[in-house]
Amino acid sequence: MQSISQKRLVSGVILALLAMYILPNFIEYSTLSLLIIYAILALSLGLIWGFGGILCFGQAAFFGLGAYSYAVFAVNIGESSIPFILAILTPALFALILGAIMFYGKLSDVYLGVITLVVTLILFRFANSTAGPEYAIGKARLGGFNGMPNFHTLNVPGMPDVYIWDLDFYYVCFILLIICFISLYFLIKSSFGRICIAIGQNEQRIELIGYDVRKYKTIFFGIGGGLAGLAGALYASWAEIVTPGLFSLSQSAEIIIWCIVGGVGTLSGPILGAVILGLLKYYLGQQSLVDNNLVIGSILVLFVLFLPNGLSPALANLWVKITVKTKSRRPNTRRKKVSRAVRGIHNE
Amino acid sequence: MSNIILETHNLSMKFGGVVAVDNVDFTLRENELRCLIGPNGAGKSTFFKCITGLHKPSSGNIYIQGEETTHWHTHEISHLGIGIKTQVPNVMDGLSVWENIWLSARRYNDVKNANRRVDSVIERIKIGDIAKRLVGELAHGQRQRVELAIVLAADPWLVILDEPAAGMTGVDVEIMIDIIKEINRHAAMIIVEHDMQFIKSIADQVTVFYQGSILMEDNVDIVLADQRVRDVYLGRKV
Ligand SMILES: Nc1ncnc2c1ncn2[C@@H]1O[C@H](COP(=O)(O)OP(=O)(O)OP(=O)(O)O)[C@@H](O)[C@H]1O
Ligand SMILES: [Mg+2]
């Protein structure tokens, strides 16, 4: 079991590296970079929701916080390495504190949704209200609804003058996505990850076994926050400006939709969902015939109705069906594996 | 006489106007197998939830091995080495039997020893044939057994079970009786149970709950022959 899934991981990574070189021939690399940033953002929710059962309606809060932290520190420090790390740590810490309040306070899932939503709204309103000169952190003025331009974008570590632009930036994003994916793969296979998955399934049983569920959920939530922060830092470098729109509810909603369409309970699903829907949004944005949100909304409804487990499990299913027809003489055992894949959890 | 390992003093639990547990003084000694019986709504499960930290009692105290645990969290109580099974089956349906048990074994062991422990518990409970199955696919009796295996994997010295045989029939009940007797060789037990037949085949000392209080406490034969107990079970007032 273990070796089969690790073989799949290796072949998946090789495929991803191939795709990394081939894709720029078809799609602009700056668009690709954005899609990859979205994919990392989607992974951050896909992790805590799909594996920890924590549905956060405000994942955009950590994304925006990461982007703003990066911008603020980059303005003050004048290079990108330390701001980059702080842009991960700040939202992670924020998520840890918020998580501790929610999980130690024994909030029910519904209230968790409400609170994360409200926190996002507050950050959005706050970021919008910081136009005055008094809203400055060190040299960095937050700039209200106009946002913050003019900060130091990503550079080669230790060489502030050597910026990472264009195609190089795309490669950096892609490699980071692969690193995130592999790290999360091993995280969910670890004892800690397995306990978190079990908590997502039956919190009380894990409490009865003797684990402090609050602690595990808080840490897991913090990891998700840090990952969203990483996406935010990359986004800041990509856009060269951060605006309050990063904290918007539509951004949060989009992340949830990516996960649903791609497949909650898998790692590949959120990536797939973010890339496909991101690309669709990009192309739809270039025309004015149909409304963007209408199309994305319709897709969501179709998926919820007809493919509730999402794309990734469906594709895995299809793949197995094809290989069973052409190769395997043991369709029964194969099919059993598929049903597990469809249930999520075991199919990474 | 052997040592007291669990006791409650004046333990009460109120839900609004309902007094579900009413001033209960209860003691359990080492190696004991105690059955709690009583009609529906007598307060057995509520008492069970109080001593396992699932409810915060309204008043009174709980001591486990001399230490006051009245306001402890469930995971802290469990951490003392107490295995707990609730009345509603509590398992991870989306995970395999093996994984379910492993999570418990891993609590007090490193990965290597946890793996070994799971295998030994699976053998002990005789569920090797279903070890790789998803728990959600199993029949009710099998899931109950899996939950017992989860409890045992942590190697508890006190095992508290709420209606372990509920909803079981024939062979499954027989198996459960054997498992309980086997567990009791290594651990003290409190078993909440409804079914008289079941109690007859396992119990020694029995505590009868009625309307939140202890009605009587004695040897199983004396209790089952008692007129008041029969009346209570038939729904007559005493
Ligand atoms: N969470 C709760 N909120 C309000 N009332 C409750 C709650 N839990 C139990 N009760 C009430 O407390 C009383 C005792 O219930 P309890 O579940 O402890 O009985 P029991 O002896 O376990 O019965 P059974 O044999 O049916 O399991 C009942 O009147 C019940 O309605
Ligand atoms: Mg009960």
B76 to chain A nearest CA, in Å?
6
CATH number at residue A57: 1.10.3470
Residues of A in contact with B86 (CB under 8 A): 204, 208
Compute CA distances B105 → A25, B82, B149, whole Å.
Answer: 52, 13, 10
ipTM: 0.92
Q: Which pLDDT score, from 0 to 100, does residue B103 have?
A: 97
Residue having the nearest C-alpha atom to atom 19 of ligand 1 = B41
Shortest CB distance from A195 goes to which of B103, B108, B111? B103
Q: Are residues A209 and A330 in the same domain?
A: no
Q: Which pLDDT score, from 0 to 100, does residue A165 have?
A: 85
Q: Are residues A147 and A231 in the same domain?
A: yes
On the 0-12 / 13-18 / 19+ scale of CB atoms within 10 A, B87 is middle
Name the residue in chain A with its Cα closest to that of B147. A205
Average pLDDT over residues A152-165: 88
Reported confidence tier of residue A327, pLDDT bands at 50, 70, 90 = low
- Number of domains, chain A: 2
Residues of A in contact with B56 (CB under 8 A): none
Average pLDDT over residues A283-299: 85
Q: Is it the case that residue A125 has pLDDT exceeding 90? A: yes
Q: Are residues A333 and A281 in the same domain?
A: no
Q: Are residues A17 and A140 in the same domain?
A: yes
Q: Which pLDDT score, from 0 to 100, does residue A286 have?
A: 83
Q: Is it the case that residue A5 has pLDDT exceeding 90? A: no
Torsion of CA A182, A188, A192, A197, to 10 degrees: 160
**Quick one: which ligand is closest to B210's CA?**
1
Q: Are residues A136 and A222 in the same domain?
A: yes
Tell me the two tokens of residue B173: 């009940």
B60 to chain A nearest CA, in Å?
23
Q: Are residues A200 and A271 in the same domain?
A: yes
- B33-37 β-sheet, strand order: B82-85, B158-162, B188-192, B33-37, B205-210, B213-219
Evaluate whether B62 touches B70 at the Cβ level (below 8 Å). yes
Name the residue in chain B with its Cα closest to that of A210. B75
Rounded CA-CA distance B79/B76 in Å is 5
- Ligand 1 centroid to Cα of residue B88, in Å, is 13
- Identify the contact set of chain B against chain A, taking CB-CB distances under 8 A: 52, 54, 73-75, 78-79, 84-86, 90-95, 99-100, 102-104, 106-108, 111, 134, 150, 154
Phi, psi angle pair for A164, to nearest 5°: -105, 105
Q: Are residues A228 and A328 in the same domain?
A: no
Which domain covers residue A74, as residue numbers? 2-309
**Quick one: which ligand is closest to B213's CA?**
1
- pLDDT tens string B117-173: 999 999 988 899 999 999 999 998 889 899 999 999 999 999 999 998 888 888 888
- pLDDT tens string A159-217: 888 898 888 999 999 999 999 999 999 999 999 999 999 999 999 999 999 999 999 99
Q: Are residues A127 and A10 in the same domain?
A: yes
Residue contact B103–A345, C-beta within 8 A: no
* Mutation target among B49, B56, B75 for the A interface, most CBs of A within 10 A: B75
What's the one-letter identity of residue A114? V
- pLDDT tens string B11-24: 999 999 899 999 99
- Beta partners for residue B134, in sequence order: B96
Residue contact A198–B134, C-beta within 8 A: no
Q: Are residues A112 and A31 in the same domain?
A: yes
Q: Are residues A273 and A327 in the same domain?
A: no
Which residue stretches of B109-195 are H helix?
Answer: 111-125, 140-153, 170-184
- Ligand 2 centroid to Cα of residue A131, in Å, is 60
B74 to chain A nearest CA, in Å?
6
- pLDDT tens string B40-68: 899 999 999 999 999 999 999 999 999 99
Q: Are strands B59-64 and B67-68 parallel, antiparallel or unpaired?
A: antiparallel
Rounded CA-CA distance A123/A117 in Å is 10
pTM (two decimals): 0.90
Among A34-43, A150-159, B75-84, the range scoring the smallest mean pLDDT is A150-159
Residue contact B84–A208, C-beta within 8 A: yes
Q: Are residues A141 and A251 in the same domain?
A: yes
**Quick one: which ligand is closest to B38's CA?**
1
Shortest CB distance from A206 goes to which of B94, B99, B103? B103
* Mutation target among A207, A212, A309 for the B interface, most CBs of B within 10 A: A207
Rounded CA-CA distance A43/A29 in Å is 21
The domain limits of chain B are: 1-81+157-238, 89-155
Q: Are residues A335 and A274 in the same domain?
A: no
Residue contact A205–B106, C-beta within 8 A: no
Q: Which of B12, B14, B18, B194 to mutate to test the pocket of ligand 1 (most atoms within 8 A of CB)?
A: B18
Residues of B in contact with A343 (CB under 8 A): 94, 134
What's the one-letter identity of residue B195? D
Residues of B in contact with A103 (CB under 8 A): none
Q: Which pLDDT score, from 0 to 100, does residue A254 have?
A: 93
The rounded mean pLDDT for chain B is 92
Q: Which residues line ligand 1 (CB under 6 A)?
A: B 15, 18, 20, 38, 40-46, 87, 194
Q: Which class would CATH give B1-81+157-238?
A: alpha beta
Q: Which of B24, B44, B215, B233 to mutate to test the pocket of ligand 1 (most atoms within 8 A of CB)?
A: B44
